[in-house]
Amino acid sequence: MELIYCSGGNIKFVEIALQHGYLYGARLPDTVYAPLHFADNDWARPNRPAYMAALAKHRPHMASVLDLEREDQLDDVLSWADEAAQYVQTVMIIPKVFGIIRRLPRRIGGADVRLGYSVPTAHGSTDVPVWEFDGWPVHLLGGSPHAQHRLTHYLHAVSADGNMAQLMATRYCAFYDPARRTRRGLWPTLADYDGRPWGDGSNTADAPYEAFRRSCSNIMQLWSRR
């Protein structure tokens, strides 16, 4: 299982994730802090020329393409995928249309095709049922570590990314712990867990990084038991 830390804007979070065995992903075009394994495009504001130029520069292992949100987008999405395949080994297509997966190729432009599944969250999901993904290698997009892990009972998930661990660390100094349930569910704060504010008082600015470090460690252990 490939776990990918996909975010930008803070090299220290990148370093922590890499130290715990994560692969690195970034939304392109953006600042890239490490060798790039996964490239994602801005689904809300796609810019094909800029994205393809960034793929040509960084040559990641895998790249997503335009989200397949309507049936009439199929040709356009496949065109994106064919162009992206010049620069990557795996192209990720994200189907959000019922019944369209059967029309997708297994390979395109010499690259393997992997399907992206948007894990349901408060911010959105996909209407495509999990059984349509049967027989395909799947990348899990977003959601909580627990939700992602649960989906492996239904999907052939081979990779996953998400930024919930960073969000919880920066917003609450909370970290993922599947063995401990608190008022934030499986996300205790450092103070909840340690019984006191974290650190010696001189390093409180590092508390979000410590929370993120614990999440990375616990999430890796969760997947290692899969």
Dist. CA 156–CA 160, nearest whole Å: 11
Give the pTM. 0.93
**pLDDT digit string (tens) for the chain, length 226 residues:** 999 998 877 899 999 999 999 999 999 988 898 999 999 998 889 999 999 999 999 999 999 999 999 999 999 999 999 999 999 999 999 999 999 999 999 999 999 999 999 998 765 667 899 999 999 999 999 999 999 999 999 999 999 998 899 999 999 999 999 987 777 789 999 988 877 767 655 567 789 999 999 999 999 999 997 6
Residue type, position 51, single letter:
Y
- The region that residue 92 occupies, defined by phi over 0 for left and psi between -120 and 50 for alpha, beta otherwise, is beta
29: preceding bond cis by omega (within 30 degrees): yes
The closest alpha carbon to 138, from 124, 125, 151, belongs to 151
Domain 2-162 has CATH 3.20.20.70: yes
Beta bridge partners of 189: 174
Task: Work out whether strand 38-40 and strand 62-64 pair parallel, antiparallel, or are unpaired.
Answer: parallel
Altogether, the residues listed in the chain come to a count of 226
Show the DSSP H helices in the chain as ranges: 11-19, 48-58, 74-84, 145-151, 164-172, 190-194, 207-224
The closest alpha carbon to 187, from 142, 226, 219, 161, belongs to 219
Domain ranges of the chain: 2-162, 164-226
